[in-house]
């Protein structure tokens, strides 16, 4: 049994329109994240893939090859991690900046997250051949994928000398949603490979279907408190959401099966577990099938502290959690540096339990009515992909309307 998986990335081009004077903040690298007094359009995009144990060479091979090379496979197998965590995302959007306090936007986001014990992930990624005669167990398994298209309105709720609050609300369309969660799963492969015994403990499966799967509401909020001219503390809650699902089923399993040869691609958005089971298993599955009418996707909670070193440079420390840490926590330190009125850079170092060590470099260049932006995550991934565990890219352009 071998399970293949794939990641869907969208690398977008940023574009927006706005006019500024020499004293205006930079548009991409604005560590204060204040509303800009510019009327125009903004189009943006980004992509990221990261893991605590899978290397970037494996990510690339998934996109262009049917299997992993021995070099990337060995780098993963030799790692000492007890769990395998994985996070991949891509986003693009367009925004119309009405004035300094409000804007309208549309965006698309897609992501995949996965977590299990490492031995179990090795079996899923590379097959169960090396595990014949062994019982491979994971105490917990979580997999989630979703694609959401959102349209909304962003506005300033409060703008005071000490306190600033920005929020957004809107409607969202859900598609490509799949979820697998389990308290414990164990797989035993017979020594001669003739059968597999599978035990599922409090396992739920929601399979993806074609087309629109649900509609919902979402909201974002950011609260900035300026303690003094040098320090700002911020709280962010992004993607507070809820979705009503159309004709979606959840399969709850708390039993054991014996399979005499089954192939199931859990990372294929079109695959259904019941397509790979005979009638005896289907009867058990159908008895445990329930209608699922709603779902909540992960919300990002972020705390941030900005300290101004001088008028040209700042340090921003942040800590964020996705779904209260279920799908990852990340801590980062960013250094912003301004070079005159036309150039600004950002260097970020951090660590996340779903993306590993991070290092990114960003630059924004302004000329007349234009602002150009580029950010690259983990530059060393191009030179030593088997030793790095995340990479990503963002590019951008601003232009006056």
For 118-145, the pLDDT digits (tens) are 999 988 888 877 888 889 899 889 999 9
Q: What is the largest CA-CA distance in the chain?
A: 74
**pTM across the whole model:** 0.83
Non-local (6+) Cβ contacts of 267 within 8 A are 3, 4, 5, 6, 112, 143, 145
3 found inside a domain: no
Q: Report the pLDDT value the prediction gives residue 23, as an integer from 0 to 100.
A: 42
pLDDT in tens, 352-382: 999 999 999 999 998 888 889 999 999 888 8
Q: What percent of the chain has pLDDT above 90?
A: 48
Q: Report the pLDDT value the prediction gives residue 189, as an integer from 0 to 100.
A: 85
> Considering only CA atoms, which of 170, 178, 32 is closest in space to residue 93?
170
35 found inside a domain: yes
9 found inside a domain: no
Q: Give the number of domains in the chain.
A: 1
pLDDT in tens, 251-286: 888 888 777 755 555 455 455 544 545 545 666 666
The rounded mean pLDDT for the chain is 84
| Domain, as residue range, for 316 | 15-399
* 105 vs 10 pLDDT, higher one: 105
> Exposure of 9 by Cβ count < 10 A (0-12 exposed, 13-18 middle, 19+ buried)?
middle
The CATH number of the domain holding residue 325 is 2.40.160.40
């Amino acid at each position: 049994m071998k399970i293949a998986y794939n990641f869907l990335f969208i690398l977008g081009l940023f574009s927006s329109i706005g006019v500024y004077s020499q004293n205006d903040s930079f548009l991409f690298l604005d560590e204060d994240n204040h509303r800009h007094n510019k009327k125009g359009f903004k189009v943006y995009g980004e992509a990221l893939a990261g893991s605590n144990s899978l290397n970037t060479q494996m990510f690339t091979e998934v996109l262009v090859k049917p299997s992993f090379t021995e070099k990337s496979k060995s780098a993963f197998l030799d790692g000492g991690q007890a769990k395998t965590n994985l996070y991949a995302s891509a986003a693009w959007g367009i925004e119309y900046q009405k004035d300094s306090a409000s804007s309208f936007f549309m965006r698309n986001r897609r992501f995949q997250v996965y977590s299990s014990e490492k031995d179990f992930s090795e079996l899923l990624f590379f097959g169960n051949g090396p595990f014949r005669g062994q019982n491979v167990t994971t105490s917990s398994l979580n997999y989630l994928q979703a694609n959401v298209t959102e349209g909304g309105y962003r506005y300033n709720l409060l703008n005071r000398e000490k306190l600033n609050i920005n929020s957004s609300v809107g409607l969202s369309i859900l598609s490509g949603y799949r979820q697998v969660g389990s308290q414990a799963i164990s797989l035993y492969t017979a020594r001669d490979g003739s059968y597999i015994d599978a035990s599922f403990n409090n396992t739920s499966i929601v399979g993806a279907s074609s087309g629109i799967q649900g509609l919902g509401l979402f909201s974002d909020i950011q609260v900035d408190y300026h303690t003094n001219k040098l320090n700002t503390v911020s709280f962010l809650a992004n993607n507070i959401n809820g979705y009503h699902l159309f004709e979606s089923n959840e399969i709850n399993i708390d039993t054991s099966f014996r399979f005499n040869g089954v192939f199931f691609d859990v990372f294929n958005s079109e695959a259904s577990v019941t397509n790979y089971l005979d009638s005896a298993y289907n009867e058990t599955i159908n008895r445990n099938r329930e209608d699922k009418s709603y779902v909540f996707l992960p919300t990002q909670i972020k705390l941030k502290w900005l300290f101004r070193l001088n008028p040209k440079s700042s340090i921003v420390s942040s800590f964020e959690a996705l779904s209260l840490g279920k799908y990852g926590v990340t801590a980062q330190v960013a250094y912003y540096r301004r070079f005159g009125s036309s150039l600004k850079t950002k260097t970020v170092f951090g660590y996340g339990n779903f993306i590993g060590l991070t290092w990114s470099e960003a630059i924004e260049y302004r000329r007349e009515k234009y602002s150009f932006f580029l950010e690259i995550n983990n530059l060393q991934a191009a030179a030593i992909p088997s030793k790095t565990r995340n990479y990503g890219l963002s590019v951008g352009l601003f232009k006056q309307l």
